[in-house]
Amino acid sequence: MTEPRTLSVVIPAYKEEKRLHKTIEAIEKYKTSHAIQIETIIVVDGSPDRTAEIAKELTSNLDNYRVIDRKQNHGKGYTVREGMLEAKGDYILFTDADNSTPFAQVDKLLKEIDNFEVPIHCEGGRLAQPQPLYRIIGSRALNLVIQLLADRGIKDTQCGFKLFQKVAAKEIFKRLTFERFSFDIELLAIARKLGYRTKEVGIIWYDDPHSTVNPVRDGLRMVTDAWRVRKNIFSGRYK
């Protein structure tokens, strides 16, 4: 693989004032060992804390950073979509603000990007720290339902670490309709509908103990949203 001319990194940020530095530091460290130009776009989703201020402070003396400080909260899907459509890089990655997937793991996705328009983690990957059994069982059951309804063959739709070829990113995200947590289900279904190739790449990631995701409430919402995606596919909405 030859390194791309430019890589855009989109970071959605909501209540991330204490964790945002992790990803920024990881990106800067990556730059020291890779001859690649990186554009980083931090999109603050109407966060009520000091996330926007911290983002500006952390990046004020760094090259190729933009902070989009949206005052109104719309949700992660809306936020990622905004950043992806603004990005200018040859390849575009979105990643969570807490560096739960270590940024350097992008090398594994870049190795696949010439053959797959949307390489994602993390089938075959492993958690640095094991999850509780009830979360493992619940997650697997939920994924089976999502596969049956919308994203057959994708074992982890919700990973916050996805890389796209530029053209694929623009075509997928301009069709995205989900504004909140389930947007990953929809974007993968759109990618498949448009004929783009996806591949799950095994990497190491860290479970976030401070996650605001509610397994029951958000799990039920994801099932409902997967059904919505299925209806959208059959109605031709993503053409």
- The DSSP secondary structure of 143-188, one letter per residue, reads HHHHHHHT-TT-S-TT-SEEEEEHHHHHHHHTS----STTHHHHHH
The CA distance from 120 to 40, in Å, is 19
Quick one: pLDDT at residue 154? 79
Quick one: pLDDT at residue 7? 97
Q: Which residues pair with 161 in a beta bridge?
A: 95
Say if 24 falls within a structural domain: yes
Say if 149 falls within a structural domain: no
Quick one: pLDDT at residue 125? 45
Quick one: pLDDT at residue 139? 64
Say if 197 falls within a structural domain: yes
Number of domains composing the chain: 1
The CA distance from 47 to 13, in Å, is 8
CATH of the domain at 45: 3.90.550.10
Phi-psi region of 29 (alpha: psi -120 to 50; beta: other; left: phi over 0): alpha
Other Cβ atoms within 10 Å of 153 Cβ, number: 10
Query: What's the pLDDT tens digit per position in 2-57?
Result: 555 899 999 999 999 999 999 999 999 999 999 899 999 999 999 999 999 999 99
Q: Say if CB 32 and CB 62 are below 8 A apart.
A: no
Q: Which residues contact 214 (CB under 8 A, 6 or more apart)?
A: none
Quick one: pLDDT at residue 82? 98
The CA distance from 157 to 213, in Å, is 15
pTM for this predicted structure: 0.87
CA dihedral angle for residue 113, residue 196, residue 43, residue 99, rounded to 10 degrees: -50
- Distance spanning both ends of the chain, measured CA to CA: 32
The CA distance from 4 to 229, in Å, is 33
Q: Which residues of the chain have pLDDT under 70?
A: 1-4, 121-144, 147, 150-151, 207-219
Say if 52 falls within a structural domain: yes
Say if 61 falls within a structural domain: yes
Say if 119 falls within a structural domain: yes
Say if 75 falls within a structural domain: yes
Range of the domain at 101: 6-126+158-180+187-207
Q: Are strands 91-95 and 161-165 parallel, antiparallel or unpaired?
A: antiparallel
Sheet holding 6-13, edge to edge: 65-70, 37-45, 6-13, 91-95, 161-165, 118-121, 198-201
Say if 223 falls within a structural domain: no
Other Cβ atoms within 10 Å of 140 Cβ, number: 10
